Structure 1
Amino acid sequence: MPLDPSIAARLKRDEQGLVAAIIQQHDSGEVLMLGWMDDEAVHRTLTTGRVTFWSRSRGEYWCKGDTSGHIQLVKTVAIDCDGDALLVRVDQVGAACHTGTRTCFDGNDLGAVAAVPTATTAGGQR
C-alpha cells in the first residue's frame, strides 16, 4: 500500500527522493539522531509503529533496532512547515547511535559561543 497521496503531496524531497527525519525522545525532547526516508519508509513508519529509514549507503530499508535491539517506538510524526523535514517523536529503547551512545550527538559539541539575550534580541527582532 503506498503512502497516502495527501501526505506525499506535502513532502519536498531531495534529488534522491528523500526527506530528512529528525528523531526525538518524546518525553525529554532529547534529539537522538537524523535519518533519511523515502515515501515507502514514511509509509512504514506511519503504519507499523516502528521507525523505518532508507539507508543511502546500503540502498535498503532498515528498522532501527532490528540487529541491535535498540528499537524506536513511534509516538508521533509531524511534517515541518516547508515539507522538507519530519519530526518523529519516539520512545527510544537503548542507544540511538550505532556507536552505542544514547544519541548521535553525544560527545560531539563543536564549542559554539552561546548567545546571551539582550534588549535587542529579546523582542524577537532580527
Structure 2
Amino acid sequence: MLCSDAILGQPPIFSVSLLEGGPPYSPRNMMGLILYGIMQGITSLRTLERLARVDLGCMWVTGGIFPDHAIIGRFINMHSESMTGAFFESLTRAVLKKTDSDGSCLAGDSAVVSPTEPEAVVQKMS
C-alpha cells in the first residue's frame, strides 16, 4: 500500500511473508487489496482478483499487484486471527487521526461504514 507507512506504521500483521518459494507479494499491498475490495463491497475472492486487474484505484492502492484468488484466500487464512474487529477499528481510528477527519463521512459517496463491518466481509471471503 503506497501510503500505509504514514498511516499504519508497522502493525504485526504485516511482518509475516506470504509465500515460500518465489518472491512474495508485499503483505501491505495484499492488505490494501483486501481493504479496497471491502470498501467497494466485494466479498468474492475471484471478483477481488478481477478488481486488482481492472480498477485503477485498486492498482494505485496495491502498487499494481495481480494476485490470483487462491493467493488472496491463502493470505486471508494466514492472517485471519489478526483481522479482527479490533484491528479494523484501530485501522479506522488511525486513518481518521491521520486525515484529521471527525468520521462523519468515511467514504467519497458519503456512506458511513461501521469499523467492524470489514471483519464480517473478511470472514465471508475466507
- Higher strand proportion, which one? 1
Q: Quick check: which has more Rg, 1 or 2?
A: 1
- Higher helix proportion, which one? 2
Structure with greater contact order relative to length (CA < 8 Å, sep ≥ 6): 2
Q: Same fold (TM over 0.5)?
A: no
- TM-score normalised over the length of structure 2: 0.25
